[in-house]
Structure 1
Amino acid sequence: MRILRAAGYRVMPWKNGGGTTTEVAVSPDGAGLDDFDWRVSMARIEAGGAFSSFAGIDRTLCVLEGQGIVLDIAGGAPAELTAASAPFSFPADVPTGAVLISGPITDLNVMTRRGRMAHTVERLTVAAPLEIEAEADTTLVLPLDREIMLVGDTPDRLGPLDALVLDRGARKPRLEPIGSTILFVIRIDRPGGNH
């Protein structure tokens, strides 16, 4: 179990140069945009336009703040995402354009290399204590806007947008939110794993 602090996240340019992304975690450590197995990041989108293309990558997008975004994915029906929407998954290697609904947004972006890794993203509203099962190879827990206390042998806390990282089989941490908050639970596995 380890905690990644939001203040220490790496900020880097988008692959297409159109903005910046804040990298929460990447595997293997230090991997670049062309050779990661998986990557969790946040991006500030100031204007509509084309998404960067990532060959052989599956991605899931969640809106963290702002009015939302409409995605046009390879000519399919437009997909409208807001802060209340469920996480939205799509291939990162098909042409994708975006239009902002009303002003800039910040998104959470989870990407895995197809055939090597797979992922799920859950968006939970939590107000009561809970435990998270570490049943995937890697599980990341990210609170959106409130502090969450970690209760156990070594008590600690997660601030907004800090990430708790659990490896498979880790002891279940007890999470106690300070008030109601949105919690993102990201599970990353090798295909054919238990999840």
Structure 2
Amino acid sequence: MSGVYPASARVFRPWKNGGGTTAEILCWPEGAGFDDFTLRLSTARVEASGPFSEFPGVDRVLTVIEGGRMVLRLGGQAHALAPLEPFAFAGDVACAAEVDAPLLDFNVMVRRPLRARVGAGPLDPAARFALLLAPVAGLDRLDLLEMAQVDAGLRAAVTGAPALSVWL
């Protein structure tokens, strides 16, 4: 189905520090690496506390989807991330996460000057992407939709469903 990135197709790969795994959902331009992507969407299983990789020139929006509690330490300040409350921060600032139990998060990274905003709630059909938070219209929880690429019938069927909407 065009414009649908199924959760079932994701492959989680271990982090270098052993604290979790990440599954890339999409990366633009296709085939880009960590030094030259414009946009990267991924989910991560965070299993242990530890430092985040730094991404100079990149802004991030991180949203805890399920599981334990996460506290991000950025520039000497602690930020407790509540489930389904997106948190935006600069990827070039040293950051470490403290977790009390394994969790799953959704990560949006954009290279400046591109900007991203993430909102939790009813799916907004005007969003560029949507990560479904519940099964709907034959799709599974955590499937990602590229809204401009899905047909009008599917767009209508998922509008208002629980989701993380991403605007660029």
TM-score with structure 2 setting the length: 0.86
Gaps of 5+ in 1: 150-156, 189-195
Three-state SS of the structure 1 residue aligned to 2:157 is: strand
Shift in Å at residue 46 of structure 1? 0.8
Query: Which stretches of structure 1, 4 residues or longer, exceed 2 Å deviation after superposition?
Result: 9-19
How many residue pairs are counted as aligned between the two chains? 165
Could you list the per-position Cα deviations for residues 169-195 of structure 1 after superposition, in whole angstroms to 9, with x for gaps in the alignment?
x85821348xx963111122xxxxxxx
Alignment of 1:149-168 (within 5 A): 149=137, 157-167=138-148
Aligned equivalent of 1:185? 165
Shift in Å at residue 25 of structure 1? 1.2
Greater radius of gyration (CA): 1
Aligned equivalent of 2:47? 46
Work out whether residues 15 and 33 of structure 1, in 8 Å CA contact, stay in contact via their aligned partners in 2.
Answer: no
Alignment of 1:125-140 (within 5 A): 126=122, 132-133=125-126, 139-140=128-129
Distance change >3 Å, CA 29–CA 5, structure 1 → 2:
same
Residue type of the alignment partner of 1:108: F
Could you list the per-position Cα deviations for residues 1-57 of structure 1 after superposition, in whole angstroms to 9, with x for gaps in the alignment?
511111222433436564320111111112222211000101111111111111110
More helix by share: 2
Three-state SS of the structure 2 residue aligned to 1:35 is: coil
Work out whether residues 23 and 40 of structure 1, in 8 Å CA contact, stay in contact via their aligned partners in 2.
Answer: yes
Cα distance between partner residues in 2 of 1:13 and 1:31: 19
Aligned equivalent of 1:193? none
Three-state SS of the structure 1 residue aligned to 2:116 is: strand
Three-state SS of the structure 1 residue aligned to 2:12 is: strand
Work out whether residues 56 and 114 of structure 1, in 8 Å CA contact, stay in contact via their aligned partners in 2.
Answer: yes
Note if 1:122 corresponds to 2:115.
Answer: no
Cα distance between partner residues in 2 of 1:3 and 1:75: 39
Three-state SS of the structure 2 residue aligned to 1:158 is: coil
Work out whether residues 117 and 166 of structure 2, in 8 Å CA contact, stay in contact via their aligned partners in 1.
Answer: yes
Over the aligned positions, Cα root-mean-square deviation in angstroms equals 2.4
Alignment of 1:1-195 (within 5 A): 2-14=3-15, 18-76=19-77, 78-84=78-84, 86-100=85-99, 102-115=100-113, 117-124=114-121, 126=122, 132-133=125-126, 139-144=128-133, 146-149=134-137, 157-167=138-148, 171=152, 173-176=155-158, 182-188=162-168
Gaps of 5+ in 2: none
Could you list the per-position Cα deviations for residues 45-95 of structure 1 after superposition, in whole angstroms to 9, with x for gaps in the alignment?
11111111111100001001112201110113x1101214x2100001111
Shift in Å at residue 166 of structure 1? 2.5
Deviates more, 1:36-45 or 1:23-32: 23-32
Work out whether residues 131 and 175 of structure 1, in 8 Å CA contact, stay in contact via their aligned partners in 2.
Answer: no
TM-score with structure 1 setting the length: 0.75
